Amino acid sequence: MKTALITGITGQDGSYLAELLLEKGYMVHGIKRRSSLFNTDRIDHLYQDPHDPKQRLKLHYGDLTDSMNLTRIIQEVQPDEIYNLGAMSHVKVSFDSPEYVGNVDGLGTLRILEAVRLLGLTEKTKIYQASTSELYGGMPENKNENGFYDENSPFYPRSPYGVAKIYGFWITKNYREAYNMYACNGILFNHESPRRGETFVTRKITRAVAKIALGLQEKVYLGNLDAKRDWGHAKDYVRMMWMILQADKAEDWVIATGITTTVRDFVKMAFAQVGISLRFEGTGVDEKAFVLACSNPAYQLEVGKEVLSVDPSYFRPTEVDLLIGDPSKAKNKLGWVPEYDLQGLVEDMMESDIKLMKKDIDLLKAGHEVLKQEE
């Protein structure tokens, strides 16, 4: 039985990866930060009784800023594979916490690599480092001849998050070459799911659309509607993470769909899932969206109702307008083919958030009934 260690196991990618590895028969260890609140919602369905000898998922308290703690966990677990998914991954927030993101996303990677080296596990342990498309910075002159970013495209990070991740990328590559470690970078373009954090733009959109359709929210405020991203499903991307560590040779890989979509079009697709078409007016910070038609009788929205406005506070100090990746190497060398297209991704997210918001409505109704009975 193989043993895997996942940092960031309570996040979107960590939860899907844990599911995948458990299905494949792994013993899975996860590192989670200590919190006074429960933050294991995404993996609660996997984590049953820790005293059950058949339980193949074990959690450890740890932090990427604590090298001694990481070293102790790695020594105890003796993993065959490490997936470093833990990070402060919100680009906009990284401008507010640049030192913290550098410590976690940059030096945190070094701490894992150095722990594996010092513990004498370089022959045993394979390492996957979660890199990011933010390395490229959206610089048009750095695309390949086909107009995409690939494994050979130059980097030009445009945020503290991207700068921290570029350190993680190069230190992983350096340890691979200096110590002959099986250490790989997966340069992931945007990947979403129903488990995406609520502050990320795609999940913010699908949650807001569900609330607007159900009458729980008036409208949604967004930033740059013209920004273009290469969006895939997290389930497809974590499958590729696993495939990367099964390859004969340690290399770096782009994980992307090769298709780009604007934030505005993602909004249109999300509203279309509940039978609502939109009319956009204005440009830049003055752009707004209004209900053009509502074909679903379950959702009663007035034609002409304003459902979207632009809030300049959501713009980044340095904006990345376009990111699109070339997954040719992953497809040709490892046979990776995504199972979800963008339409399937939006459907999955909207279906989940509609169910979630309806559950909230039911809880509110139940609470009102209790109050009435008490009166």
Rounded to whole angstroms, the Cα distance separating 338 from 248 reads: 22
Q: Which of 230, 79, 258, 254 is nearest to 169 (CA)?
A: 254
* Known catalytic membership, residue 161: yes
Q: Residue 109: its pLDDT value, please?
A: 98
Going 252 to 257 to 260 to 261, the CA torsion angle's sign is negative
Q: Residue 37: its pLDDT value, please?
A: 55
Q: Residue 371: its pLDDT value, please?
A: 53
Q: Which of 111, 109, 95, 81 is nearest to 18 (CA)?
A: 81
Catalytic, out of 7, 10, 109, 132 = 132
Q: Residue 151: its pLDDT value, please?
A: 96
Element (H, E) at 331: helix 328-334
Q: Which of 56, 55, 87, 82 is nearest to 71 (CA)?
A: 82
* Known catalytic membership, residue 237: no
Q: Which residues of the chain register pLDDT less than 50?
A: none
Q: Residue 51: its pLDDT value, please?
A: 65
pLDDT tens per residue across span 124-151: 999 999 999 999 987 888 888 888 999 9
User: In this structure, are residues 325 and 133 in contact, taking their beta carbons and an 8 Å threshold?
Assistant: yes
Domains of the chain: 3-188 (3.40.50.720)
* Known catalytic membership, residue 128: no
Degrees to nearest 5, angle at CA 175 with 173 and 176: 60
Rounded to whole angstroms, the Cα distance separating 297 from 295 reads: 6
- Its pTM stands at 0.90
User: In this structure, are residues 216 and 306 in contact, taking their beta carbons and an 8 Å threshold?
Assistant: no
User: In this structure, are residues 306 and 290 in contact, taking their beta carbons and an 8 Å threshold?
Assistant: yes
Q: Residue 248: its pLDDT value, please?
A: 94
Alpha helix locations (H) across 43-200? 67-77, 91-94, 98-101, 108-118, 160-179
Q: Residue 130: its pLDDT value, please?
A: 97
Degrees to nearest 5, angle at CA 6 with 65 and 355: 110
Rounded to whole angstroms, the Cα distance separating 328 from 191 reads: 17
Contacting residues for 261 by C-beta, under 8 A, at least 6 apart = 228, 229, 231, 342
Q: In this prediction, what percent of the chain has a pLDDT beyond 70?
A: 93
299: number of CA atoms within 13 Å, CB side?
Answer: 25
Q: Residue 170: its pLDDT value, please?
A: 98
- Output Rg (C-alpha) for the chain, integer angstroms: 22
Q: Residue 373: its pLDDT value, please?
A: 58
Q: Residue 44: its pLDDT value, please?
A: 81
Which amino acid is located at 360 in the chain?
A: D
Catalytic, out of 26, 81, 125, 134 = 134
Q: Residue 77: its pLDDT value, please?
A: 97
Give the position of tokens 């989670």.
32
Catalytic, out of 161, 182, 237, 299 = 161
Q: Which of 276, 319, 326 is nearest to 296 (CA)?
A: 276
132: buried, middle or exposed (CB in 10 Å: 19+, 13-18, 0-12)?
buried
Q: Residue 73: its pLDDT value, please?
A: 98
